């Protein structure tokens, strides 16, 4: 998260367990599960986390309209300001990027039919012919130059995706259908980032005319996507309609209209899904009524491939938690299987590292052996040994989000585990309206040692996660400096295998020093009622036109 990515605040209204109840459950689970867990473990909900879905059953026919719920109302639909679940859920159907992250998490062509790299610091995009914006105006190189330029250079801080543009030196039209980006140094993440909302192209003419209202209910947006923005009724809903002139005929929508509702309360949302008032929803955390959904005969729950992980992020470079030995000791005391089973209702997997298997892509042969070196079983004996000679008299303060049962339950488990090895841990409740400040305001983090975050990268490369730990980076909340040089080296390495080797080194160092403590991996949770099918269940739904394939199930 950079300074403006303030809304990656995760809400959960799940009913909190009592501290005593959690402790008892944790002990029982630890005894049953043996503590640890490997990627691929099967949860009590029947989720095989080694075989997560990338597609659902194909639609049997078109459908006129559906209603899809969002957990909150988007703050903006301007692609460069949409780094969060609700915003990207909508925008992925509206705006196309230069390249495309496919449902299986591979990358393919998008608005650019061809990408060339004549040298390590030059990227040339050849645009498709005949692509039009919704208003009928043609996609031109000028639109691409504008869309990239407004996120780089002097405008870099305006974009929620600024980290992908730090190496952009200039962007220019170099042909009738060609745009060339010049980089100050080789940058593997820039090219990959163009398959996300960072590479989304908007109409220069429309955005310029709309000014500061671009992306708002009053100003709207103008893109080339599979759906058109029809109406944004602030506080009530967003309607998008089929783009009959969509350039990618393989993804011409089967559904005529998608109406997005903003039901924040999980119980209400689940009841709406079960009753048919709402046809579908993506959940980034298992909702309170997860068992109701999985047991229902009127909805289908699908668990998809995901980049999402739940972590305890270090918030300061001073204080007791700034000591790597303390962080490692705490992690050794934590039963991550209990967190997965109790807090996440067995719809999560204990995380030995921050970046999980779905990030590996074509480099699985390099990442998997390194990944399996790290376990998740608690080891209180080793934890106590690490604390030998360490001053444990000072309290560790962990911030938790108000109204979040996930935060409260996890904190209770961690607090009990830490106390068992001699650590003093207290929690500080931050109101949900203020929790986002922790991500961009150092003053908001004052007095805190750590806070919980549900995080995700955007591309199939673990480096996309570990680049957070660049020295001076806005998301490097604890000012961790242990891998800066390696991150820069990996980012400048364009050969995927060589970059993976360096990233494995980064991962080993980060997993030892624990600037962020890995807790669980979270699959994408897709719920569709029995009338529809075809939605994309993987994390690609945040940048791929996932609603285009939805249609009638019968």
Q: Considering the domain boundaries, does residue 428 fall inside one?
A: no
Number of independent structural domains in the chain? 1
Element (H, E) at 266: helix 266-275
Q: Considering the domain boundaries, does residue 289 fall inside one?
A: no
Rounded (10°) angle between helices 19-33 and 405-420: 70
Q: Considering the domain boundaries, does residue 479 fall inside one?
A: no
- Predicted confidence pLDDT, tens digits, the chain (554 residues): 333 333 333 322 222 333 333 333 333 333 333 333 334 444 445 467 678 999 999 999 999 999 999 999 999 999 999 988 999 999 999 999 999 999 999 999 999 999 999 999 999 999 999 999 999 999 999 999 999 999 998 788 889 999 999 999 999 999 999 999 999 999 999 999 999 999 999 999 999 999 999 999 999 999 999 999 999 999 999 999 999 999 999 999 999 999 999 999 889 999 999 999 999 999 988 888 888 998 999 999 999 999 999 999 999 999 999 999 999 999 999 999 999 999 999 899 999 999 999 999 999 999 999 999 999 999 999 999 999 999 999 999 999 999 888 999 999 999 999 999 999 999 999 998 899 899 989 999 999 999 999 999 999 999 999 999 999 988 999 999 999 999 999 999 999 999 999 999 999 999 999 999 999 999 999 999 999 999 999 999 999 999 999 999 99
398 vs 428: CA distance, rounded Å = 6
CATH number at residue 144: 3.90.76.10
Asked if residues 89 and 95 have their Cβ atoms less than 8 Å apart, the reply is no
**495-520 in b/e burial notation, b at 16+ Cβ within 10 A?**
eeeebbbbbbebbbbbbebbbbbbbb
Q: Considering the domain boundaries, does residue 200 fall inside one?
A: yes
Q: Considering the domain boundaries, does residue 356 fall inside one?
A: no
Query: Any idea what the Cα angle at residue 474 is, between residues 147 and 445, rounded to 5°?
Result: 135
Domain enclosing residue 192, as ranges: 78-214
Q: Considering the domain boundaries, does residue 142 fall inside one?
A: yes
CB atoms within 10 A of CB 462: 30
Asked if residues 204 and 150 have their Cβ atoms less than 8 Å apart, the reply is no
Q: Considering the domain boundaries, does residue 328 fall inside one?
A: no
Q: Considering the domain boundaries, does residue 98 fall inside one?
A: yes
**135-144 in b/e burial notation, b at 16+ Cβ within 10 A?**
eeeebbbebb
């Amino acid at each position: 998260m950079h300074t403006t990515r303030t809304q990656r605040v995760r809400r959960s209204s799940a009913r909190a367990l009592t501290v005593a109840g959690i402790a008892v459950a944790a002990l029982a689970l630890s005894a049953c599960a043996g503590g640890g867990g490997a990627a691929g473990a099967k949860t009590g909900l029947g989720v095989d986390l080694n075989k997560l879905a990338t597609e659902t059953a194909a639609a049997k026919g078109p459908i006129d309209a559906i209603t899809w719920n969002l957990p909150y109302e988007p703050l903006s639909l301007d692609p460069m300001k949409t780094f969060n679940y609700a915003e990207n859920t909508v925008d992925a159907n509206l705006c196309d990027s230069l390249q495309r992250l496919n449902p299986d998490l591979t990358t393919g062509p998008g608005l650019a039919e061809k990408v060339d790299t004549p040298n390590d610091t030059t990227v040339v995009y050849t645009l498709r012919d005949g692509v039009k914006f919704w208003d009928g105006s043609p996609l031109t190189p000028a639109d691409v130059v504008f869309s990239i330029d407004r996120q780089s250079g002097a405008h870099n801080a305006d974009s929620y995706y600024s980290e992908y543009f730090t190496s952009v030196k200039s962007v220019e039209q170099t042909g009738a259908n060609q745009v060339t980006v010049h980089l100050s140094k080789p940058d593997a993440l820039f090219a990959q980032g163009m398959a996300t909302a960072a590479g989304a192209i908007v109409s220069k003419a429309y955005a310029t005319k709309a000014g500061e209202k671009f992306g708002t209910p009053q100003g709207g947006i103008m893109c080339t996507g599979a759906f058109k923005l029809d109406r944004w009724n602030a506080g009530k809903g967003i309607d998008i309609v089929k783009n009959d002139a969509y350039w990618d005929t393989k993804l011409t929508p089967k559904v005529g209209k998608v109406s997005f509702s903003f039901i924040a309360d999980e119980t209400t949302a689940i009841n709406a899904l079960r009753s048919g008032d709402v046809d579908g929803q993506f959940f980034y955390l298992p909702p309170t009524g997860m068992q109701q959904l999985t047991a229902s005969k009127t909805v289908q729950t699908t668990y998809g491939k995901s980049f999402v992980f739940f972590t305890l992020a270090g918030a300061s470079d001073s204080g007791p938690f700034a000591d790597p030995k303390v962080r490692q000791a705490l992690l050794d005391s934590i039963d991550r299987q209990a967190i997965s089973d109790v807090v996440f209702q067995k719809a999560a997997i204990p995380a030995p590292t921050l970046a999980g298997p779905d990030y590996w892509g074509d480099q699985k042969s390099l990442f998997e052996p390194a990944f399996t070196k790290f376990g998740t079983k608690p080891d209180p004996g080793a934890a106590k040994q690490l604390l030998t000679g360490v001053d444990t008299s000072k309290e560790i303060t962990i911030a938790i989000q108000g109204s979040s049962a996930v935060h409260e339950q996890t904190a209770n488990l961690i607090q009990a585990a830490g106390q068992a090895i001699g650590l003093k841990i207290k929690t500080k409740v931050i109101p949900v309206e203020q929790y986002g400040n922790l991500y961009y305001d150092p003053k908001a983090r004052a007095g805190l040692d750590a806070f919980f975050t549900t995080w995700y990268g955007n591309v199939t490369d673990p480096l996309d996660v570990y680049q957070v730990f660049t020295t001076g980076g806005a998301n490097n909340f604890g000012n961790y400096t242990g891998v800066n040089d390696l991150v820069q080296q990996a980012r400048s390495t364009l050969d995927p295998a060589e970059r993976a080797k360096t990233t494995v080194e980064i991962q080993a160092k980060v997993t030892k020093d624990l600037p962020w403590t890995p807790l669980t991996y979270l699959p994408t949770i897709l719920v569709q009622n029995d009338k529809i099918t075809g939605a994309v269940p993987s994390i690609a739904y945040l940048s791929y036109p996932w609603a285009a394939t939805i249609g009638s199930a019968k």
